[in-house]
């Protein structure tokens, strides 16, 4: 007799058989581990000037990745700068998903004028160029990690909303929804307890990819010098060192690689989740 497996368990099994996805997950765990616990291992002040400015990687022992334009240790900065980047990425993605699901669920479930109104709102936010609008928000209201997460969240939700709406439109016509209604379940119960759990798989995938987008977004804002001035972040490191690009490539290249590998790992995981939830698409 075969053991019964829950759909989530089955998807997890699929995920584990997907090599790139598992590699991505491992890479992600390593990066997050370094960012969270790295400064316990290498207890150092990132603001401390350790050697001459723009020392090349490996040129001096104990400074494996060289120094930046002020002579600060790039490796220590990297450990410290990952935190804000990831915190903003995660909270912005969370905000995106919450707004997107709420909007999409209401629009898809109720239809009619609610749908019209919310979809017009969605289209409106899609017209605003996201980065520019985020720049405006951050400039008008002081740049802090909260403002930045908020700005990214408020410009990124339309995609999630559309996806949620499409899922709700499809699922609300299914028999188990009718069944739930016939036993007297109210609207909010049907939306959150009946339809949403069944709409989750594509939303989880999109949430994972949203984290990647939000990290890139935060990096872009910090690169432009619009990040929180009181914290170090990877994008900010690139922005500060770019004026010395012609003399030294490493203070710019290395933080960029850190961003790249983080987003790359996140998107491998996202793709893996997608394949795990949609086994039919795997042949493509």
Q: Give least dist CB 24 to other proteins, A.
A: 9
Cα within 13 Å of Cα(58), Cβ side: 1
Q: Give least dist CB 265 to other proteins, A.
A: 8
CA separation (Å) from 206 to 44, 97, 140, 209?
37, 9, 30, 5
Q: Give least dist CB 135 to other proteins, A.
A: 6
Token pair, residue 51, equals 């050697």
Length of the chain: 284
Q: Which is nearer to other proteins, 132 or 179 (CB)?
A: 132
Q: Which residue has the tokens 């109720």?
A: 110
Q: Which is nearer to other proteins, 75 or 223 (CB)?
A: 223
Chain residues that interact with other proteins, rule: CB under 8 A: 123-124, 126-133, 135-137, 139-142, 212, 216, 219-220, 223-226, 235, 238, 242, 245-246, 249, 252-253, 256, 259-261, 263-264, 267-268, 271, 284
Q: Which is nearer to other proteins, 138 or 194 (CB)?
A: 138
Q: Give least dist CB 127 to other proteins, A.
A: 5
Of residues 217, 240, 214, 237, the one with CA closest to residue 75: 237
d(C-alpha 253, C-alpha 231), whole Å: 20
Q: Residue 166, class by beta-carbon neighbours within 10 Å (0-12 exposed, 13-18 middle, 19+ buried)?
A: middle
Q: Give least dist CB 112 to other proteins, A.
A: 19
Q: Which is nearer to other proteins, 126 or 198 (CB)?
A: 126
CB contact set of 226 (below 8 Å; sequence gap of 6+): 135, 138, 139, 143, 148
Q: Which is nearer to other proteins, 139 or 178 (CB)?
A: 139
Helical H segments across 54-142, by residue range: 74-110, 112-127, 130-140
Q: Give least dist CB 262 to other proteins, A.
A: 8
Q: Which is nearer to other proteins, 11 or 154 (CB)?
A: 154
């Amino acid at each position: 007799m075969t053991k019964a497996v829950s759909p989530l368990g089955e998807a997890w099994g699929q995920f584990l058989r997907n090599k790139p996805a598992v590699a991505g997950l491992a890479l992600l765990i390593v990066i997050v581990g370094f960012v969270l616990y790295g400064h316990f291992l290498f207890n150092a002040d990132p603001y401390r000037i350790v050697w001459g400015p723009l020392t090349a990687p490996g040129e001096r022992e104990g400074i494996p990745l060289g120094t930046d334009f002020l002579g600060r240790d790039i490796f220590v900065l990297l450990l410290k700068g990952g935190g804000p980047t990831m915190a903003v990425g995660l909270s912005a993605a969370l905000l995106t998903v919450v707004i997107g699901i709420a909007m999409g669920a209401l629009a898809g479930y109720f239809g009619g004028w609610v749908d019209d109104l919310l979809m017009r709102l969605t289209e409106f936010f899609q017209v605003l160029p996201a980065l520019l609008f985020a720049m405006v928000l951050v400039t008008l209201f002081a740049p802090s990690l909260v403002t930045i997460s908020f700005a990214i969240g408020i410009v990124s939700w339309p995609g999630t909303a559309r996806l949620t709406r499409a899922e709700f439109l499809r699922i609300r016509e299914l028999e188990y929804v009718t069944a739930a209604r016939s036993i007297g379940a109210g609207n909010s119960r049907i939306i959150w307890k009946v339809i949403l759990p069944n709409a989750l798989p594509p939303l989880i995938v999109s949430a994972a990819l949203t984290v990647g987008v939000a990290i890139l977004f935060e990096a872009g804002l910090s690169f432009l010098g619009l990040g929180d001035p009181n914290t170090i972040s990877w994008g900010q490191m690139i922005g500060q060192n770019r004026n010395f690009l012609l003399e030294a490539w490493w203070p710019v290249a290395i933080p960029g690689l850190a961003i790249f590998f983080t987003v790359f790992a996140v998107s491998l995981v996202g793709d893996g989740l997608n394949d795990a939830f949609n086994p039919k698409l795997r042949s493509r």
